Chains A and B, each alone.
Chain A
Amino acid sequence: MLAFTEHCGQALRLPWENIDTDQIIPARYLHRPRNAGYREQLFHDLRFTPDGKQPRVDFPLNDPTKAESSILVSGKNFGCGSSREHAVWALLDYGFRVVIAPDFGDIFFNNSLKNGLLAIRLDERSIEALMQNEGEPTILTVDLPQQSITTRSGLRYEFEIDPYRKEALLNGESDIQMTFRLYDEITKFETRYIKDNPWIYTP
């Protein structure tokens, strides 16, 4: 997966709650193979008019001064709903590397960290403070080793992350690689477990 150490970029605010993965990428695009990319499909129905041709002027990403944003800041429960990992792929393909919200849909949160998109839980008050420069670009620096977010004016907030997830992100290592190192333990467990629970095999 994509490694993550430090990222500096412009923050874009979507001040809504419960932005579900159907909004992040509509279901009708899910058949596309991963290597086809999802940049154009990100927030598709919020970004474009119903005919799919014109950008909607009221959608923040269509503001030319914010189109190059790489840090997304949202309200509570971002990424709720469907488990589609395409939501994470679409954000990455557009150019986002960080999403900050008070909380996330659990599956989206896991999917993010497995792809090198850093999802950060931050309380609403800190988010307000980070984004107080509305009207002019908000540039944030996200430092994973330090677990910190800093503004140009020097505001600094720390965030929490599971130490193993952090290490995997820093190394860009996938779970499968880590798990295969435990191959013998898995086999040992499996042998005992299946002996104790023979009903797990279907007739």
Chain B
Amino acid sequence: MGRTLFDKIWESHIIAERENGMALLFIDRHLVHDATAQAFDQLRLEGKEVRRPELTFGMADHYIATHHDPNRDPVHEQMVTTLAENAHEQGITSFGAGDEYQGIVHVAGPELGLTLPGALLVCGDSHTSTHGALGALAFGIGASEVTHVLATQTLWQQRPKTMRIRIDGELGPQVSAKDLILTIISTIGANGGTGYVIEYTGKTISDLSIESRLTLCNMSIEAGARAGMIAPDETTFSYLKGKRFAPQGELFEHAVEMWRGLKSDDDASYDKEVAIDAGKLAPTVTWGNSPETALPITGHIPSLNEIESNKLEQYNATIEYMGLAPGAMLTSLKIDQVFIGSCTNSRLEDLREAAEIAKLGSAKVPTIVVPGSQQVRQQAEKEGLHEIFQKASFEWREPGCSMCVAMNGDSVPSGARCASTSNRNFAGRQGPGSRTHLMSPAMAAAAAITGHLTDVRELEGNIC
């Protein structure tokens, strides 16, 4: 029987296997960040050191400052420093504040060629699923697992099941990979992918840029799947060629020859199959406190009579927390601020899309744009995107996780409603009491210049 892309990568990394599917896997790439301090503490407690520092890379992102803040909490700065100290002690290459390669680990990893097809990549962060866009098997792990990988360059994992999501049809104007993944999550549910690795296939996927594929795989975890992956193709190989840490010259050509075999066999079978028609999608936003509460922007907040009786208590709590009127049109929701950034949507393509909309007006509410990495920031500035943003009163910041996870001091005040390009709308995610609506960069920029949730398709050309 044929094998899937997942099967091929999984099986090539098995060091030892138990009869129940639990396997000890070799790890090609281990990425660590500034919120991994406890794992290094544990490593010292265990009396171990990093087995393969040359396969381990550090990035300061969660706690890093994105602008000069005189009130910055010294604890946040300490976490950035602690990463540098741990990396130095263990001989790990790490990128911190001011470094030309610093960025959000899931933005900088792929763009530096640290992420490679066929590799098994882990990181102590759930959005590690992002890296599967390049044909890697990549998933987030907890602190104990981080310590285990540091000490052994291996990891015990239960073999997951496989799911294929086949996506065909052409994405309409202003419908992006973000709208696609939000629709997938609302279709299969926030636990629809639990226990599975998702492989995305189909014409829509092969037409997507690498940056869009990264957005798609990034939010696989919001459907419960630890990993999302896309078979590497010519788009992938040309993206990787010449990247700072990708193999170079003959070694690259040799690697590409091997990577061409990294695709599911025609007769491979999956444990679950889902089909999505991309042609039917509209720009999509979330209304509640789980990414599965995604709806087309043309829709309305669910009314009481649309909710199953056993879910009423939670529905009422969500309506109250989010400050919503049941049945109201999504486009009627006034917002208080906008965040364009995060490992989901802070790449060059995202910033270009947001800038196109920013040209149409000027921000009605405080809006920040946080590029995903120093490389993205530099390229965006070369293209003049920062000037477009600044002219529209969008604040241009330094790279980091910022307001997606609100660990560095960038946060949404209690009760404020934020149009955000990030990945989680959980209660308190962007700060205690924050109200988050997830959407694409173009949709967030549209909300910024109108002051309410807006169908970006109706905006273009209608504002002078």
Contacts and interface: CB of A to CB of B under 8 A. Distances in A.
A163 B18 CA distance: 10
B313 A34 contact: no
Contacts of B142: 83-85, 88, 107-108, 110-111, 114
A73 B106 CA distance: 34
B144 A111 contact: yes
Contact of B22 (A86, A164, A193): A164
Interface stretch (A23-31, A62-70, A149-157): A23-31
Contact of A83 (B140, B153, B406): B140
B150 to A, nearest CB: 10
A198 B251 contact: yes
A147 interface: no
B427 interface: yes
Contact of A186 (B42, B152, B160, B245): B152
Contact of A31 (B48, B63, B160, B289): B63
B147 interface: yes
A172 to B, nearest CB: 13
A162 B158 contact: yes
Nearest to A178: B156
A36 B363 CA distance: 43
A80 interface: yes
Interface string A16-43: 1110101100111011011000000000
Contact of B433 (A50, A107, A174, A200): A50
Interface in A4-20: 15-18, 20
A45 interface: yes
B195 A106 contact: yes
A203 B153 contact: no
B247 interface: yes
Contacts of B18: 164
Contact of B38 (A33, A110, A198): A33
Interface in A111-125: 111, 114-115
Contact of B426 (A23, A86, A110): A23
B136 to A, nearest CB: 11
A162 B20 contact: yes
B311 interface: yes
Contacts of A17: 290, 311, 314
B435 interface: no
A27 B151 CA distance: 26
B289 to A, nearest CB: 8
A176 B42 CA distance: 11
Interface residues of A, number: 58
A201 B113 CA distance: 11
A199 B255 contact: yes
A45 B118 CA distance: 41
Nearest to A190: B26
A163 B20 contact: yes
Contact of A34 (B38, B311, B426): B38
Contact of B145 (A50, A110, A199): A110
Interface string B197-234: 00000000000000000000000010010100000000
Interface string B252-272: 101100100000000000000
Given A15-B313, A20-B424, A186-B154, A83 B126 contact: yes
A22 B424 contact: yes
Given A34-B38, A189-B26, A176 B147 contact: yes
Nearest to B259: A199
A26 B191 contact: no
B114 A45 contact: no
Given A164-B22, A200-B28, A203-B245, A80 B224 contact: yes
A191 to B, nearest CB: 11
A108 B191 CA distance: 13
Most B-side CB within 10 Å, residue of A27, A83, A85, A114:
A83
Contact of A176 (B75, B152, B314): B152
A55 to B, nearest CB: 16
Nearest to A104: B194
A85 B126 CA distance: 11
B372 to A, nearest CB: 18
B290 A18 contact: yes
A91 B151 CA distance: 26
A81 interface: yes
Contacts of A80: 190-191, 224
A175 B156 contact: yes
B124 A202 contact: no
* Smallest CB-CB A-B distances: 3 pairs: A111-B142, A77-B191, A85-B143
9 contacts: A31-B78, A81-B426, A82-B125, A107-B141, A111-B145, A162-B158, A164-B20, A179-B156, A202-B245
Interface of B: 13, 15-16, 18, 20, 22, 24, 26, 28-29, 35, 37-38, 41-42, 46, 48, 54-55, 63, 75-76, 78-79, 113-114, 116, 118-119, 124-126, 140-145, 147-148, 151-154, 156, 158, 160, 190-191, 194-195, 221, 224, 226, 245-248, 251-252, 254-255, 258, 289-290, 292, 311, 313-314, 317, 405-407, 414, 424, 426-429, 432-433
